[in-house]
Structure 1
Amino acid sequence: MSGRRVGGAGAPPPRDLARLALGGALPVLATALATDPAGFLFWTVTGSGAYASFSGSVPHVLARALVNAALLAAASAALLLPLARAGRAPAELRLWLGGSALAVVTGLHFFGHYYLQLVPPLALLAARALHRRPPGARAGALRATAGLAALFVLWGLLAPRPDTDHAVRLAHAVRDRTAPGERVLVWTMHPETYWLAGRPPASRYLTAGLLTNHSGGRSGARTGEPYAVPGTWHVFRAETAADPPHLLVDDSRGGDWSPRHLPTLRALLAERYRPAGTVDGARLYVLRDR
């Protein structure tokens, strides 16, 4: 884009729109061709119908959306006033920002990292707005932004991490009860437990999400085997039957994706495993014939 086009507010010519569409389509097409086009379409579009549904608790969804939007606004607080005074933005940046906002909303999960895609267009819009401000105002906005960035870095370094601490404690228990190389299955939404424990997973499904439709971003959504990604339970049964995990950890802690709601997993536990204690609320099971 030329400096004239970025600074202006008129509609971009058709050639620019065509180049923009081509630039967006080529990486996606190249990725699909480099992997498996049918599988790529399934895992990115057609296999995510339940994930993108409108089921779930509306207050929970709204709370997540507002809290994460407020965090982004707080991080950008020093730039909001210049942005508000900057006038109509160039069409290219408005299109970029609008597409990013649509991607944040799609699926109604509102994870914090979804909002990161709003940062690049907002940064360009802020740079344009500050360029039109007096030097003193620019310096003040930059100093305030640097201060806010420092606060967020400190927050990231010092804030409690209960989920990470839980995963570490669980990984220690897994490592103590298995030998190196022994496969384990951790029924969890935190796959870092495998890495922390240094044990190979017994299934390609590192979290319970694809097998149950459970997701941390939405409360009250439909969960269970009928709402899994098609074909996943067939693969899961084959994997656990061919080489049963030496240790099975139920880390659902009474959630709606716990084994008591899942006939296949419940039967696997009843037929082949015996209880081996609990760790931080998670239940451990070992093979009966070990």
Structure 2
Amino acid sequence: MYAEPLVPQRSVVAPGAALGYWRGLLPLLALLACVTRLPSFARPLWNPDEGFLAVQARILAHGGELYTTVVDRKPPLVPWLYQGAFALTGSESLTSVRVLAVLAQLTTAVLLAALARRRWGDTAGRTAGVLYLLISVGLNPEDAQAAAFEVFMLPCTAAAMWCADRRRWAAAGVAVGCAFLAKQTGGAVLLPVLWLCGPSWGGLLRVGLGAALPVTAAAVATDPAGFLFWTVTGSGAYASFTGSELHVLARGLANTALLTAACAGLLPALARAWRTTRTGAADLWLWLLASSGAVALGFHFFGHYYLQLTPPLALLATAALRTAPDTRRTRALLTSACCCALFLTWGLLAPRPELTHAQRLAQAVAERTAPGDRVLLWGMHPETYWLADRPPATRYLTAGLLTNYSGGRDCPRVGERYAVQGAWNTLRRELAERPPRLIVDDSRGKPYAPDRIRPLRRLLAGYEPVAVVDGAVLHVRKR
């Protein structure tokens, strides 16, 4: 592959023409964003990440503090978005955050369309926006339709590239910082931004200061030490390939195959883009490479990680299709639309057995406790707290933070010795000060089951089992 020019060609557009252009394109993109997110409204929850965020938002609304009274390995931007949405519409439903997710996808598509139009003209702008929305659903629906971290990270990454393309370095840096605050891997967009900046020390300084501004503000607004630990330094055991290597590899291959199927209409164009030097897209290839590294970071390969690849893929395909015959561009769009329809059908019709389990378990918890009673759920489904409307007995909302279990990781790296530093001492202190009314063992034979976790067995000695719901055992305190 030959070297490409640092700065791609730009098109000059008259203001009046631009107004008419967006007046015609925005309604199309808005309609397509609504259609592609339609399955997200079909279920109360899509995955545990949504449940985790919903519980976090409720705790924050009742005076809790991130990284102190509720913790997660994620930055604070998306929990704050959930908290704000719940403040406006209530926390009984995720409809408000689903609407925000539609707006996030629309914003990403508009920014990509604007970037493509500036580089390659009106037709390329329309192509980029439409292609992005069509392939954005090309994963398991629980990954593509959830209103979770990646969906809100993507507008920030697209904004960073949009600003860098216009040499607005400080704004590009701020967008990079916001992408990091949505999810740490969003910071990968810094690489193509720096590429566009080139050897300009003033530009590099403005990018750095811009990126540091929102991150520093978020650290100060929460707990600086806790922010640093939970978002950067405290995930060493989690980001490991040891344990269930074959399981993780199979997941990575499956999700790669799903996204490849969703991009079937783009593959010929992407192959041409790789061979040609006429696209002026070195920064886009770097964006794709950096995003691929972000997907692999931590060696988990969850499906929602792959959403980070979709913006650069859409732009690279657009770059190649701009010089292709109209029939080839039409074929790519139609193929992508057909693939999109298949994924939307999957999202509308596929059963969600884990959601059904969480709903049954939440009903049992609500029947055996009173509002305000603290509950400890020993499992990986924090949405049960939200569905039951019961406060958690600890800041650790899943057993994963106390055992390092995540996504099928097997026994070699699961246990109390792999917990987050100091987590068990904190848990003992919390439960001693305010014992939970009910403990739910939802391990169901997983590697973090009580017979493998000695501190949990000691805790359950003061409780007695009273019911079993789909394999989950409910324990109440002994009199």
Q: 1:240 aligns with which of 431, 436, 446?
A: 431
1:121 maps to 312
Partner of 2:414: 223
Q: What is the distance in 2 between the residues matched to 1:31 and 1:80?
A: 40
Aligned amino acid, residue 277 of structure 1:
A
Equivalent residue in structure 2 for 1:28, among 195, 215, 240: 215
CA shift for structure 1 position 54: 2.6
Alpha-carbon RMSD: 2.1
- Give, in whole Å, the separation in 1 of the partners of 2:7 and 2:294: 27
Is the Cα contact below 8 Å between 1:214 and 1:221 reproduced in 2? Answer: no
The equivalent of 1:39 in structure 2 is: 226
| Cα deviation, residue 21, structure 1 | 5.6
Cα gap change, 1:92 to 1:127, in 2 (>3 Å): same
> Could you report, residue by residue, the CA deviation over 1:34-66 in whole angstroms, capped at 9, with x for unpaired residues?
333322221122110001123112211210110
| Residue in structure 2 matched with residue 15 of structure 1 by the alignment | 200
- The aligned amino acid for 1:4 is Q
Read off the aligned partner of 1:205 and give its amino acid letter: Y
1:161 aligns with 2:166: no
Please say if 1:54 is aligned against 2:241. Answer: yes
Counterparts of 2:408 and 2:308, CA distance in 1? 17
| In structure 2, C-alpha distance between the alignment counterparts of 1:174 and 1:78, rounded to whole Å | 48
DSSP-derived class of the 1:4 partner? coil
The 3-state SS of whatever aligns with 2:295 is helix
Distance 2:428 2:400 in 1: 16
Q: Name the residue aligned to 1:106.
A: 297
Is residue 2:394 matched to residue 1:209?
no
For the pair 1:274 / 2:467, whether they are aligned, the reply is no
User: Which residue matches 1:285?
Assistant: 475
Is 1:108–1:218's contact at 8 Å kept on the other side of the alignment?
A: no
Partner residue of 1:78 out of 253, 265, 278: 265
Q: Secondary structure at the match of 1:200?
A: coil
Which residue in the other structure is 1:149 paired with? Answer: 340
Give, in whole Å, the separation in 2 of the partners of 1:244 and 1:49: 30
**Whole-Å Cα distance in 1 between the matches of residues 370 and 414 of structure 2?**
34
Give the deviation of 1:95 after TM superposition. 1.8
Aligned partners of 1:55 and 1:220 also within 8 Å? no
- For 1:28 and 1:122, the matched residues in 2 are separated by 28
What is the TM-score normalised by the length of structure 1?
0.91
Letter matched to residue 132 of structure 1:
T
**Any idea what SS the aligned residue of 1:74 has?**
helix
The equivalent residue for 2:184 is: none
Q: How many residues align?
A: 285
User: What is the rounded CA distance, in whole Å, between the counterparts of 2:214 and 2:282 in structure 1?
Assistant: 23
Q: Is the 8 A contact 1:248 1:286 kept in 2?
A: yes
Verify the 8 A CA contact 1:52 1:106 in the aligned structure 2: yes
SS at match of 2:468: strand
Partner of 2:383: 192
Aligned equivalents of 1:109, 1:176: Cα separation in 2: 36
Greater share of residues in helix: 2
Large movers: runs of 4+ above 6 Å:
none
Could you tell me how far apart the structure 2 residues matched to 1:246 and 1:72 are? 44
**Could you tell me how far apart the structure 2 residues matched to 1:181 and 1:268 are?**
21
Percent identical: 61
Q: In structure 2, what is the Cα distance between the partners aligned to 1:99 and 1:25?
A: 20
Q: Contact conserved, 2:403 with 2:418, CA < 8 A, in 1?
A: yes
Does the 8 Å CA contact 1:251/1:282 hold for their aligned counterparts?
Answer: yes
What is the identity, as a one-letter code, of the residue corresponding to 2:430?
E
Query: What amino acid is the match of 1:39?
Result: G
Q: For 2:207 and 2:331, locate their aligned partners in 1 and report how far apart those are by CA, in whole Å.
A: 35
Q: Distance in 2 between matches of 1:209 and 1:146?
A: 38
Contact 2:376 2:439 in 1 (8 A): yes
Return the alpha-carbon distance in structure 2 between the equivalents of residues 187 and 203 of structure 1.
11
Q: Closer, same or farther in 2 for the Cα pair 1:78/1:20, shift >3 Å? A: farther
Structure 1 residues without counterparts, runs of 5 or longer = none
In 1, Cα distance between the equivalents of 2:254 and 2:283? 28
- The two structures have a TM-score, normalised by structure 2, of 0.56
Asked if structure 2 preserves the Cα contact closer than 8 Å seen for 1:275 and 1:286, the reply is yes
1:26 deviates by 4.5
Q: Is the 8 A contact 1:60 1:219 kept in 2?
A: no
In 2: Cα distance, 1:14 partner to 1:27 partner: 24
Provide the residue aligned with 2:182 in structure 1: none
Tell me how far apart the structure 1 counterparts of residues 421 and 226 of structure 2 sit (CA, whole Å).
13
**How far, CA to CA, are the matches of 2:208 and 2:313 in structure 1?**
20
* SS of equivalent to 2:384: helix
CA distance in 1, matches of 2:269, 2:411: 40
Query: Which whole-Å CA distance do the structure 2 matches of 1:161 and 1:221 have between them?
Result: 29
